[in-house]
Structure 1
Amino acid sequence: MSFDLGPALLFCPADRSDRYRKAAERADAVILDLEDALLPGNRARARGLLVSHPLDPERTIVRVNPAGTPDFERDLAALDDTLYRYVMLPKAVSAAHLAALARFEVIALCETAAGVLAAPAIAAEPNVVALMWGADDLVASLGGSSSRFPDGRYRAIARYARSAVLLAAGANDKAAVDGVFLAIPDLEGLEEEVVDAVASGFRATACIHPSQVPVIRAAYRPAPAEVAAAWQILEAAAGEEGVFAYQGRMIDAPLLRHAEAVLRRAEAVPPEPRWPTGSAPTHSAPPDAVDY
């Protein structure tokens, strides 16, 4: 199993079937949400829409409800009538919860104190292809009231959880998905956060609005100069044994792996976003400028 959905994963409420195809057109993959995006009373209708309005199963994730809840069992029953194979499990706190999802490729969402601490064991499960983290549910699980400072920076506990989930994923050769950026109009703040995610090793970033997709995809796509520099370093390494000097820098095995990662991203992220002709927002577009 592998995670190859692309860098921009867009949440869509599962009770809004009118948005399904729009979300799928605009992002690398769509997350049809049966959990937090819905009022509990709308979940039964959403399951019916999930079945009656199919999307490409290769580019669709379904976020079910937490394991052990009645809604979780109902979600799985609905999935039996679909071709979807990617499932996002929210509030994952135990590797045992993955057993009921053995037939799916799972993105486990570690968004509570227990979930973050259990991230290494969860990541080791064979049907887990990626870990994701969530700052606000995490802080709520601790009895806190805010995951960020007023200037938008994460508080220390959120930064710790983000790093812990990334490390757990990497230690088990699984992908890591960065959490959502809730300040929709602040595309500059989003860009700064995604650039950090890319440099740190995240493979994708989840988002909540179509205007965020181009920013995410642009950050994951290496600039032509980065690609050229990566090729030059790898070409210079041909025939070298061990550490060598190149353009005034010491080049060793980790730096060669950095260059290889740049080339993998260049291959994985297409040069243009998947927006229908004429519908792509500008980098500074306000959220109401895009017809979701």
Structure 2
Amino acid sequence: MSHPAFRFGPALLFCPADRPDRFAKAQERADAVILDLEDAVSAEAKPAARRAIVDHPLDPDRVIVRVNPASSGELEADLAALAGTPYRTVMLAKSEGTADLVELEGFEVIALCETARGVLAASEIAALAPVVALMWGAEDLMASLGGTSSRFESGAYRDVARHARSQVRLAAAAHGVAAIDAVHLDLADEAGLRAEAEDAVALGFEATACIHPGQVPIVRAAYLPAPEQQEWAAAVLAAAEGEAGVFAFRGGMVDAPVLRQAEAIVRRAGGTPTIR
């Protein structure tokens, strides 16, 4: 099954949907804005948040709307509001199975796997035609486990969170959809965010979600290949022209997986990789 290419990223910025005064600035600062109708908005403010999304239009090509879970009783109203907008990319909070996406026909769906059920069902969810990406979330996952913290005091993720991240990443890759890394909640920990974003790049994530505009340039810098990486990728792809099978390059052996890695670097740098 083919899926549309992920067209956002690498820095996606959450913005509460009940704060229309922040909409334009959030979109301006990030690669795409995620207008949040779920956790960032209290129950009593959700009707006003839906009206704000309708009344304060943005460039729809760079908007994702996080809608409430299928089981919340709020999703129908979210979708009714979106019917009056040009927005057709939604992030479904707490996706837990294929039945949760029944009402989302006609939308591009980013499925947020952030509960035990959702992580275990990631592969089945990723296989659905409307799904263009999977994202994972650490804090709701901990809540679904009855836990208290996704991280050690050092800031590193606990093993169960790392497992969930890996499972969602593998499910996305297995079904040809994009993967989005979770938010980094410690705003003061720029080094930690940078390290996580660099690790996400190494693992093939297409984007990282942000909760503050100050995180955007850190994420963008992590996803942009270093000049020496770009030079190596361009050189090895050029060297591959006319080669058949494995060949030697700069003291190492190059095969098909290495060439695919080089192509990924060129794409992240904004180019179009080609091997003639």
**1:197 equivalent among 185, 197, 200:** 200
Q: Counterparts of 1:84-99 in structure 2 under 5 Å? A: 84-99=87-102
What amino acid is aligned across from residue 240 of structure 2 in structure 1? A
2:237 maps to 1:234: yes
SS at 2:270's partner residue? helix
What amino acid is aligned across from residue 58 of structure 2 in structure 1? L
Q: Which residue of 2 aligns with 1:124?
A: 127
Q: Which residue of 2 aligns with 1:58?
A: 61
2:52 maps to 1:40: no
Unaligned runs of 5+ in 1: 269-292
Q: Which residue of 2 aligns with 1:259?
A: 262
2:13 and 2:26 in contact (8 A); partners too: yes
Query: How many aligned residue pairs are there?
Result: 268
- Paired with 2:109 and 2:148, the residues of 1 have a C-alpha distance of 29
**2:224 equivalent among 210, 218, 221:** 221
Q: Which residue of 2 aligns with 1:180?
A: 183
- Paired with 1:238 and 1:82, the residues of 2 have a C-alpha distance of 47
- Paired with 1:44 and 1:234, the residues of 2 have a C-alpha distance of 53
**1:30 equivalent among 25, 30, 33:** 33
- Paired with 1:264 and 1:252, the residues of 2 have a C-alpha distance of 19
Q: Output the aligned Cα RMSD.
A: 0.8
- Paired with 2:245 and 2:65, the residues of 1 have a C-alpha distance of 46
Q: Which residue of 2 aligns with 1:71?
A: 74
> Aligned-pair distance for 1:2?
2.4
**1:147 equivalent among 147, 150, 153:** 150
Instruction: Tell me the TM-score normalised to structure 1 length.
Output: 0.90
- Structure 1 residues 83-140: Cα deviation after superposition (integer angstroms, max 9, x where no partner): 1011000100011211210110000000000000000000000000000000111111
SS at 2:129's partner residue? coil
2:111 maps to 1:108: yes
Q: Counterparts of 1:131-170 in structure 2 under 5 Å? A: 131-170=134-173
SS at 1:107's partner residue? strand
2:9 maps to 1:21: no
Instruction: Tell me the TM-score normalised to structure 2 length.
Output: 0.96
Unaligned runs of 5+ in 2: 272-276
2:9 and 2:208 in contact (8 A); partners too: no
SS at 2:74's partner residue? helix
> Aligned-pair distance for 1:239?
1.8
- Paired with 2:177 and 2:240, the residues of 1 have a C-alpha distance of 28
Runs of 4 or more above 4 Å deviation:
none
- Paired with 1:90 and 1:58, the residues of 2 have a C-alpha distance of 20
What amino acid is aligned across from residue 74 of structure 2 in structure 1? D
> Aligned-pair distance for 1:225?
1.5
- Paired with 2:63 and 2:258, the residues of 1 have a C-alpha distance of 34
- Paired with 1:235 and 1:208, the residues of 2 have a C-alpha distance of 40
SS at 1:70's partner residue? coil
Q: Which residue of 1 aligns with 2:209?
A: 206
> Aligned-pair distance for 1:241?
1.6
Instruction: Give percent identity, aligned residues only.
Output: 62
> Aligned-pair distance for 1:5?
1.0
What amino acid is aligned across from residue 126 of structure 1 in structure 2? A
